[in-house]
A and B are shown apart, each in its own frame.
Chain A
């Protein structure tokens, strides 16, 4: 079982969450170029290893949470 650490609910089964995806920094819409904006929309690091990402706790507190997960092993936030 894959457990994700929810700061409000504690470690919970991954099936309770909806995947939001890799955390990316959003450029200022007023000051950006179309190319830079599209890089923000589409380009991803997609590492094999530690990844900071967003999840939505659909079947729990219904809040967005940030999780550090190892994409090679699915171990998240210090969980084995």
Chain B
């Protein structure tokens, strides 16, 4: 989706239409179709907050912009606090958010209970709920529709989209990109954008650019559909779980990344047992719900949980990688920023802090507001 969004904004904002989007499978087959479709902007660093706030604003207008219903439902986003220290971090997060003009507040367990009566707020729970960080503009979206909307918009503007086209080589001559080799032929170009999430390292290797990235699977699961009852996204950092109900009525459960790196997207029984247990800690009334399926997506984790965007030591090879657990939320704004980066050959201010050179310079941007990161 990042690649399609960048192509769309190159055409829409900058009039550049000689663009090809290459996908080794079908569009939306990777992280874009495997995430849990949660959108929010209540991150912790000022850089992160500014960035995601822009993304939420783009998402709010996206159905109109693309003339394609992406079914963005801003029904609120709640991060639960199970102990005093996470409550303290949430107050900190709420203040950082408010300073940047973002709706975000700490609520107590009575308010949590009023918003979601199914949550067990009794003090006897194994992980008692003391309060929550409530972020009203957060919500869920139909992730496939976002992919298709950008693809249709880009296609209509003249961008070529090649599915089932795997990049097998990147030609670099005297430190400058000259072309891309695929399993369906070669494309001569001076500019390549690597937006391949969990596969970032393998593609960057083709251009000879080392990345500070490790690929971890993140597993998720979905239940059978039931009548709508959950009108808020619920996140518990301590229990490493998030729950939301889709428009079709299914409950979607997500988690943090697996405990070890891998490119395998095979699900594990340990994961599903742990996840179900944690969901029942939060909402015991779900004990009779049946899981429909589980799956995994690949996350490109960076040492500071922040993305890597912009230019690299190889001229013409750009990256939009390192999105880890939250690339989907950032799709529109990173597409917009990368398009500007390519069109103007300058790094836009909004992504200035996210350059690849920050690792050698030792200027990391610690984003501890990332998905299900405990504090």
Contact = CB atoms under 8 A, between A and B. Distances in A.
Contacts of A60: none
Interface in A63-80: 71-74
Nearest to A2: B268
Interface string A1-30: 010000000000011001101100000000
Contacts of B262: 71, 74
In order of increasing CB-CB distance, the 8 nearest A-B pairs are: A42-B212, A19-B260, A46-B201, A48-B263, A42-B359, A35-B360, A43-B210, A71-B263
B215 interface: yes
B264 A72 contact: yes
Given A48-B201, A71-B261, A71-B263, 18 more contacts: A18-B259, A21-B261, A22-B261, A38-B360, A39-B210, A41-B303, A43-B211, A43-B212, A43-B359, A45-B210, A46-B201, A46-B213, A46-B215, A47-B201, A47-B205, A48-B202, A53-B261, A71-B264
B360 A44 contact: no
Interface SS of B by simple majority:
loop
Interface string A29-58: 000001100110111111110000100000
A29 to B, nearest CB: 15
A73 B217 CA distance: 12
B199 interface: yes
Contacts of B360: 35, 38-39
A71 B215 contact: yes
Interface of A: 2, 14-15, 18-19, 21-22, 34-35, 38-39, 41-48, 53, 71-74
Contacts of B201: 44-48
Nearest to A14: B260
10 contacts: A18-B259, A19-B261, A21-B214, A34-B362, A43-B212, A46-B214, A48-B201, A48-B202, A71-B261, A72-B264
Nearest to B210: A43
B298 to A, nearest CB: 10
A41 B359 CA distance: 9
A3 to B, nearest CB: 13
A34 B359 CA distance: 11
B84 interface: no
Contacts, number: 63
Contacts of A21: 214, 261
A44 B263 contact: no
A14, A35, A46 — most chain B CB neighbours (10 Å): A46
A22 B212 contact: no
Interface in B27-78: none
A9 B374 CA distance: 32
Contact of A38 (B264, B266, B359): B359
A19 B266 CA distance: 18
Contacts of A74: 262, 264, 266
A15 B270 CA distance: 8
A50 to B, nearest CB: 12
Given A21-B261, A71-B264, A72-B263, A44 B214 contact: yes
B264 A19 contact: no
Contact of A73 (B199, B215, B264, B359): B264
Interface in B202-233: 202, 205, 210-215
B212 A48 contact: no
Contacts of B212: 42-44
Contacts of A38: 359-362
Interface in B234-289: 259-264, 266, 268, 270
Contacts of A43: 210-212, 359
A41 B214 CA distance: 13
A11 B355 CA distance: 42
Contacts of B263: 48, 71-72
B359 A47 contact: no
